[in-house]
Amino acid sequence: MFSQLIINGISSGSLYALVALAMVIIYKASEVPNFAQGEMATLSVFVAWHFVNAQFLPFYQAVAAALLFAFAVGVLFEFTVLRRAEKPSILELIVMTLGLQMFIYGIIGWKWGAEQKTFSLPIAEDSVVQLGPVVIGWLNIITIATSLLCVLVLYLFFTRTKLGTAMRAVQMNSTAARINGIRVHRIMSLTWGLSAVIGTIAGILFAPVSPLDPQLMWDPLLKGFAAGVLGGMTSPFGAVLGGYILGIIENLFGAYISLEFKSVVAFALIVLVLWFKPSGLFSRHYERKV
């Protein structure tokens, strides 16, 4: 029973980890929590659904197209909206992401309506693997494996590639990055694109266990945000760990204490973290960029 709960916790934690990761990448570069991230992901999942159902593309091609689409949306938002603002304050940035959120929410409702659809992976949903006393659904295995793979690829990307290193440099000190010849604007656009892709991967993994409607990502986004805060918003490593921890705690709480209040746990955790360790569990102290 216990190990079963842990596995399920890790599975939902994988989604929170991806959402948190997408959020932290943006937060470190632009110093703004991207409230539109959920809608950006939802839109891309709808695009994938549209390709599968209306265009009759095979699943994997539809997903690839949706990821490309997500990347384009991220890049386009940075390029057409954020970059046009002259020295925006944090509040102005937040308002811009909220504006984008409502804009995309409206577009989804207008294009696909509010009725619920289903978007599932091309596997038998109830197929399971028996590991001793633990039963793991294939969906859970795929979710966990995909998120681990994403984390690994991102780790290699940020530490080994020229582009990833440049992204970290921009996040740390954009003036220094600039005078070393790094094209900061281009890096910002690509960062938004990358974040949108990660968010969309989370969305595609979440869609099979939830009805596909315009509110698809509301819950995972809030949980992912909580995971990010738990891990300290400035640390990708912390965000991933925060995601897994939140998933596990939530599942244990739901089973042993109260199923009704299961989804409130995340927010109780945010409050506790902000109370006792405002910089998050895994973050080094927050340095203000000047």
Which residues of the shown chain bind other proteins in the complex (CB under 8 A)?
153, 156-157, 160-166, 168-169, 172-173, 175-184, 284, 287
Structure tokens given for 99: 């504006």
By C-beta, is 146 or 173 nearer to other proteins? 173
C-alpha to C-alpha distance for 80 and 283, rounded to whole angstroms: 32
| All residues at 6 or more sequence positions from 150 whose CB lies less than 8 Å from its CB, including other chains | 18, 21, 198, 201
CB of 180 to other proteins, least distance (A): 5
By C-beta, is 34 or 283 nearer to other proteins? 283
CB of 155 to other proteins, least distance (A): 10
By C-beta, is 139 or 194 nearer to other proteins? 194
Closest listed residue to residue 166, CA positions, set 193, 138, 143, 188: 188
By C-beta, is 170 or 266 nearer to other proteins? 170
Task: Report the SS3 class of residue 33.
Answer: coil
CB of 270 to other proteins, least distance (A): 25
Residue 179 burial (CB count, 10 A): 9
Instruction: Give the relative orientation of helices 236-256 and 218-231 as an angle to the nearest 10 degrees.
Output: 120
CB of 145 to other proteins, least distance (A): 18
Task: Report the SS3 class of residue 34.
Answer: coil
CB of 184 to other proteins, least distance (A): 7
Instruction: Give the relative orientation of helices 2-30 and 236-256 as an angle to the nearest 10 degrees.
Output: 150
C-alpha to C-alpha distance for 223 and 63, rounded to whole angstroms: 24
By C-beta, is 91 or 285 nearer to other proteins? 285
CB of 160 to other proteins, least distance (A): 5
By C-beta, is 31 or 219 nearer to other proteins? 31
C-alpha to C-alpha distance for 114 and 101, rounded to whole angstroms: 16
In eight-state DSSP terms, residue 285 is: P
Distance of CA 97 to the CA centre of its chain: 15
By C-beta, is 136 or 163 nearer to other proteins? 163
Concatenated DSSP letters of 74-124: HHHHIIIIITTSSS--HHHHHHHHHHHHHHHHHHHHHHH-SS-B----SS-
CB of 164 to other proteins, least distance (A): 7
CB of 132 to other proteins, least distance (A): 34
**H-assigned helices in 114-183:** 138-160, 162-172, 174-179
Which residue shows structure tokens 């470190």? 28
By C-beta, is 24 or 269 nearer to other proteins? 24
